[in-house]
Amino acid sequence: MPTVTSIKPQRNGKRINVYIDDKFGFGIDLLNFAKNNLKIGVELSKEKLGEIIKKVEFQKTLDKTLRFATLRPRSEREVKDYFRRKKIHESMHGELFEKLKHFGLIDDVAFAKWWIEQRMSFKPKGKRALMSELAGKGIGKDVSEEVLGKLKIDERKIARDLIVKNAHKWERYDSKDASKKKAEYLARKGFSWEVIKGILSIDDE
């Protein structure tokens, strides 16, 4: 029967290398090491050894996923994309997803709020553009509208600020062409025609 013949701590001090029959068997986190009462001389059946290795791999994957998920709010789509990108075995997806949900680390509302606030701070846009971006991130329309409603974004002010900030772009055009260029610019930024008309009428006064 496979026997633990050596135990050596890893350099990071958080994991242990376990050797089976004088050959490297697996690395294991301290919690699972203690739970399985591993020590030199302990005999492990093939079934028990397989069970331990499965738990170890899951914990290792969970630790990496937690580091990803705690950097900032994450959406369900982002987490699923992460699983695919890191080629995490499908057998782990369900349990990993539930763990993250349990810890409150998957939250489409929190993600939408974070995304919109980032955009407003660094790349201001209209609500239509924000809705489109969030849809591309897998956020449902209901969630996007809820978050946008609570944040009470003043599109008129944002559009006006963008026109003032980029005024140099339209200096060489006459009044009519400048207005057209400004309207096209604001449309690309996701502002409604109602907002655009209001801003251009103010700008032309």
Bridge pairing between strands 15-20 and 4-9: antiparallel
What does the pLDDT read at residue 61?
A: 94
Domains and CATH numbers, the chain: 4-102 (1.10.10.10), 107-153 (1.10.10), 155-205 (1.10.10)
What does the pLDDT read at residue 202?
A: 53
Using an 8 Å Cβ cutoff, are 161 and 124 in contact?
A: yes
What does the pLDDT read at residue 205?
A: 43
What is the full DSSP assignment across 20-66? ETTEEEEEEEHHHHHHTT--TT-B--HHHHHHHHHHHHHHHHHHHHH
DSSP letter for 70, please: T
Beta bridge partners of 8: 17
Q: Measured in Å, how far apart are the chain's first and last C-alpha atoms? A: 89
Percentages helix, strand, coil for the chain (3-state, rounded to 5) are 65, 10, 25
Q: How far apart are CA 121 and CA 70, in angstroms?
A: 21
What does the pLDDT read at residue 13?
A: 84
Look at the pTM and tell me if it is higher than 0.95. no
Beta strands in the chain (DSSP E): 4-9, 15-20, 23-29
Helix (H, G, I), strand (E, B) or coil at 102: helix
Cα–Cα nearest to 153, from 131, 168, 184, 178: 131
Using an 8 Å Cβ cutoff, are 169 and 181 in contact?
A: yes
Bridge pairing between strands 23-29 and 4-9: unpaired
Q: How far is CA 66 from CA 71, 105, 139, in A?
A: 9, 8, 21
Which stretches of the chain score pLDDT less than 50?
203-205
What does the pLDDT read at residue 204?
A: 46
